[in-house]
Structure formats: structure tokens, C-alpha cells
Amino acid sequence: MTIHIGAEPGQIAETVLMPGDPYRAKWAAETFLEGAELVNEVRGMLGFTGTWRGHRVTIQGSGMGMPSLSIYANELIRDYGARTLIRIGSCGAMQSHVKIRDVILAMSASSISTPSLGFFREVNFAPTADFGLLHGAFQAAEARGVTTHTGGIYSADVFYAERPDLDEAMERHGILAVEMEAAELYTVAARHGCRALAVLTVSDHLKTHEALPAEDREKSFGDMVEIALEAAFG
């Protein structure tokens, strides 16, 4: 057991999917895993372990933002032996050709700062996805006929941003979408020699101000979970 994860030794799988919302972790575990068991509920951050096509998988909520995700990613890797961590979450599109319900595979994740910034001092570390996972996710999405975009995203420090100049700069440099966790996940995974990827569903659009209705989210997020699982074990 750790400070933030109450699982016993052996209860966490080597492959972990990490949605921000603990209730999305519960939904994904009940929907996609066989024999899913609750292994963590410390601070309400639910985690479940079960099997998918015979492979052991843990689905653990990470909370919102890089500081929260960093806590769970570090403990999962250092204390429970996780080796593959895949973020499954929502994002806001920043390019006109990216549409609501599309899936984004984050090849890289830019940021202003992350909890790991102090490690690098003057170095601008470039957090990137594991290529094997990225390639597997792309193949899985193509096979499912899901409209997918692969490229750079932006991991923000704040949800309610008031920097239109920054949004314009990100858009101009081809950033596909904004979310709040991937840059730190990629950095922590790199530090420990693990694999990481972010598979994201576009739930809203910064340019058109469209938003995915709540009743439509489950099917779209389902595609994202399946892509992540197939990438991990394909």
C-alpha cells in the first residue's frame, strides 16, 4: 500500500489505463474488463483490476491536472511495478480539421510547466509517447474505422485559461488539442523506462465552441478505451 493507492502487492497489473475521472474508471472496468475488482478507493480515486482477452489490466483514476496524475503514475510504477501506462481522457480541439468525437493519439505533449520541471532546470525536455504504443493505437483505430489524428498536443496547467495569444500560437504550430495530464505522464514514464501513451476523445472544440452532449460520450469514449487496450496488447 502507498499513501494514495490502497491496493495490496500483486493487485495492480503491469498495464494501467488512467482516466482522469474515477467514475469513468469504474464505467470502463465494468464495461470492458472481465472479473473486475475494486483495488483502490483511497480519497475516492477508484481503481479496478480485471482481464481483457486474457490480459490483466488495471484501470486507475488519476484526477485532474499534472500534479495529481504525477502522484498516481509515480506510485504505480515505483511501488506496484506498472510498466505500461495509457491515459484515456477527453480533450479540446484546436484545429479546424479536428472534429467532435475524433480520437487523438498524442505523439508529443507541450507544456508551460510540469511537476517534473525542477528535474531539468535549463533543459526543455520534449515528452513523447512510446512509438510501439502509438503505432499499435493507430492501427487499432484504423481497423475500427475511427477518425484519428496523430501529432502534438498541449498539456495545460489550468482549465479556465485566459490566454488567447497562447491558443493562437499553439494552433499556428499545429497543436491538435489541449488537455491537462499527458506531458507529465510521458515524462514520468521516460524517467522510469516505462511505456506511455495518451489516447484522447475530442469532447469540445476551442474554435467552433461545439461540445459533445453527455448522452453521446459513452460510445465515443468506448472507442478510445478499445483502442488503448488493443495498443497495449496488440
Asked whether the predicted pLDDT for residue 177 surpasses 90, the reply is yes
Domain ranges of the chain: 15-233
| Confidence band, pLDDT 50/70/90 cuts, at residue 104 | very high
**Per-residue pLDDT band at 117 (split at 50, 70, 90):** confident
pLDDT surpassing 90 at residue 85: yes
> What's residue 153's pLDDT?
98
- Assign domain 15-233 to its CATH superfamily: Nucleoside phosphorylase domain (3.40.50.1580)
Mean pLDDT across 97-103: 96
Among the listed residues 21, 79, 204, 216, the single catalytic one is: 204
Q: Give the side-chain half-sphere CA count within 13 A for 179.
A: 31
Given pLDDT bands bounded at 50, 70 and 90, which one contains residue 161? confident
Mean pLDDT check: name the lowest of 89-98, 113-122, 216-225.
216-225
The verdict on whether 223 is a catalytic residue reads: no
- What is the rounded average pLDDT for all residues in the chain? 95
Hey, what's the cell of 26?
469504474
Binding residues: 4, 20, 24, 43, 87-90, 179-181, 203-204
Give the span between the Cα atoms of 200 and 194, in whole angstroms.
Answer: 20
Identify the band that residue 163 occupies on the pLDDT scale cut at 50, 70 and 90: confident
- Binding-site residues for phosphate, in ranges, read 20, 24, 43, 87-90
Residue pLDDT, tens place only, 34-82: 999 999 999 999 999 999 999 999 999 999 999 999 999 999 999 999 9
Binned at pLDDT 50, 70 and 90, residue 8 comes out as very high
pLDDT of residue 120: 87
Percent over 90 (pLDDT), the chain: 88
